[in-house]
Amino acid sequence: MDLSPLEKHLLNDFQHHLPLSTQPYADMAAQLGVSEAEVLSALARLHEQGLVSRVGAVFRPHSIGASTLAAMAVPPERLEAVAGLINDYPNVNHNYEREHEYNLWFVVTARDEDELCAVLEDMEARTGMPILALPLIEDYHIDLGFDLRWT
């Protein structure tokens, strides 16, 4: 994959400390010595290529709203279709496949517990499959940022 220097900086440099301001993309652009339009264009390309799914803050669980880790046991022949359906929910941060009976895992967020339950129920109705909800019991911080090295 051929990425521009700007795209590489956007992927690496803002995994932490995304500017918290009314104009975060302009602030990013100023830090990188480019225009805000260039930052937005580069982020759009990265999104189109599937390298970026969203740009935004990640909040500590239960500090704002409600969330749960969820898992589904999806037949292999339905995995891609079910994962696509789950990804279409704006409440889903990410999902991933695991080598396990429960092979599709994802995080669901909502304004409150009632909305969270409604989203999970809707997912079950639309997929025809049960969801195992695994709410947070104890909080551990895992830094998901990676120092990307470009060769």
How many Cβ atoms sit within 10 Å of the Cβ of residue 124? Answer: 13
pLDDT tens figures, 67-91: 899 999 999 999 999 999 999 999 9
- What is the pLDDT, as a whole number, of residue 73? 97
- What is the pLDDT, as a whole number, of residue 137? 74
pTM as predicted: 0.62
- What is the pLDDT, as a whole number, of residue 70? 96
Distance spanning both ends of the chain, measured CA to CA: 11
Going edge to edge, which strands form the sheet with 66-72? 92-97, 104-110, 66-72, 132-134
pLDDT tens figures, 97-139: 999 999 999 999 999 999 999 999 999 999 999 999 998 777 6
Sort 18 into a burial class: Cβ within 10 Å, 0-12 / 13-18 / 19+: middle
How many Cβ atoms sit within 10 Å of the Cβ of residue 137? Answer: 5
Domain architecture of the chain: domains with CATH: 5-48 (no CATH), 66-134 (3.30.70.3460)
pLDDT above 90 (res 54): no
